[in-house]
């Protein structure tokens, strides 16, 4: 099966189900414990305009789209810079449909507690993509900008980065109480942001389809090797975990034209 690589589609089951969309839909869970090969053709096509590009910028964009596309705007990484609520942005219609919409500020659990922002419709996909073992809502805002401002207010207390190597080794701090962590924030938030604090204390817990976690993470560079082959030991976040402690972040290679093969056929 061949096609343009994108991040895997996920389904909140137990364990999480992963689907790779090429010229056919591949349920990746079916290949755990089996030998597979993922090969790059040498071609990269921009995920926005579909033009061939020698280099990929910002997870799949050509340079022009990286500089001009709303999907690659700085507020994707720094939501406090979003201007969608003002009717501004690289693509006003796209910003209105995606950023001037309800957003959630959340706490996610792994080896630490991480604070983050996502569009309400991206729950729980965003949490699964990050490889969180559990997550809880902290606040609900009417747009991305306010969620970003609220996140910034919490960054002194929580990291906004995921330690991907610890996440892949499944190093989880079981002592973390997300409800307790959340309600300690009530006294921290400025008064003008406290109105967005939510009393929804539901914790979503995620189990990933992994037979064996790596002990020493070795990242595979598809652009250097051209292909990766071996026993698929599991999937977590957007990473495929291979034998020999090798891992590959599929999201990093968005836009790459690849071929997927089941070596056991």
- Separation of alpha carbons 185 and 197, rounded Å: 9
Question: Residue 7 falls within a domain, yes or no?
Answer: yes
Q: Of 89-93, 112-116, 188-192, 238-242, which gets the smallest average pLDDT?
A: 188-192
Same domain, yes or no: 195 and 215: no
Question: Residue 79 falls within a domain, yes or no?
Answer: no
Mean pLDDT of 175-195: 91
- Separation of alpha carbons 104 and 124, rounded Å: 11
- Separation of alpha carbons 15 and 208, rounded Å: 5
pTM: 0.93
**Whether the predicted pLDDT of 1 surpasses 80:** yes
**Whether the predicted pLDDT of 69 surpasses 90:** yes
Same domain, yes or no: 179 and 123: yes
Same domain, yes or no: 197 and 223: no
**Whether the predicted pLDDT of 123 surpasses 90:** yes
Instruction: Answer with the one of 205, 226, 243 that is the final residue of a domain.
Output: 205
Going by their DSSP bridges, the two strands 203-205 and 239-242 should be labelled as unpaired
Instruction: Answer with the one of 188, 205, 222 that is the final residue of a domain.
Output: 205
Same domain, yes or no: 124 and 183: yes
Total domain count for the chain?
2
3-state SS assignment for residue 207: coil
**Whether the predicted pLDDT of 160 surpasses 80:** no
Angle, CA 196 vertex, CA 164 and CA 94 arms, to 5°: 65
Same domain, yes or no: 190 and 215: no
- Separation of alpha carbons 87 and 35, rounded Å: 50
Instruction: Answer with the one of 184, 205, 226 that is the final residue of a domain.
Output: 205
Same domain, yes or no: 173 and 218: no
Question: Residue 23 falls within a domain, yes or no?
Answer: yes
| Residue 55 structural domain | 2-64+210-262
């Amino acid at each position: 099966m061949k096609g343009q690589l994108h991040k895997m589609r996920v389904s909140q089951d137990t364990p999480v189900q992963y689907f790779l969309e090429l010229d056919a839909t591949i349920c990746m869970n079916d290949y755990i414990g089996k030998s597979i090969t993922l090969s790059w053709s040498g071609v990269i096509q921009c995920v926005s305009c579909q033009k061939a590009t020698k280099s990929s910028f910002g997870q799949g964009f050509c340079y022009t789209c990286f500089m001009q596309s709303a999907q690659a705007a700085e507020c994707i990484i720094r939501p406090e810079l979003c201007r969608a609520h003002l009717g501004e942005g690289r693509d006003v219609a796209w910003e209105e449909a995606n950023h001037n919409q309800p957003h959630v500020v959340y706490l996610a659990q792994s080896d630490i507690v991480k604070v983050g922002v996502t569009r309400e419709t991206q729950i729980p996909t965003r949490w699964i993509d990050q490889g969180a073992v559990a997550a809880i809502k902290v606040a609900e805002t009417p747009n991305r900008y306010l969620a970003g401002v609220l996140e910034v207010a919490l960054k002194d207390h929580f990291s906004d980065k995921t330690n991907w190597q610890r996440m892949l080794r499944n190093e989880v701090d079981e002592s973390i109480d997300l409800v307790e962590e959340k309600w300690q924030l009530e006294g921290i938030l400025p008064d003008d942001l406290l109105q967005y604090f939510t009393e929804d204390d539901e914790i979503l817990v995620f189990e990933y389809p992994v037979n064996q976690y790596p002990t020493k993470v070795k990242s595979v560079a598809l652009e250097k090797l051209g292909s990766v082959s071996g026993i698929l030991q599991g999937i977590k976040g957007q990473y495929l975990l291979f034998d020999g402690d090798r891992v590959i972040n599929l999201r990093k290679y968005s836009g790459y034209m690849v071929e997927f093969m089941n070596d056991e056929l």
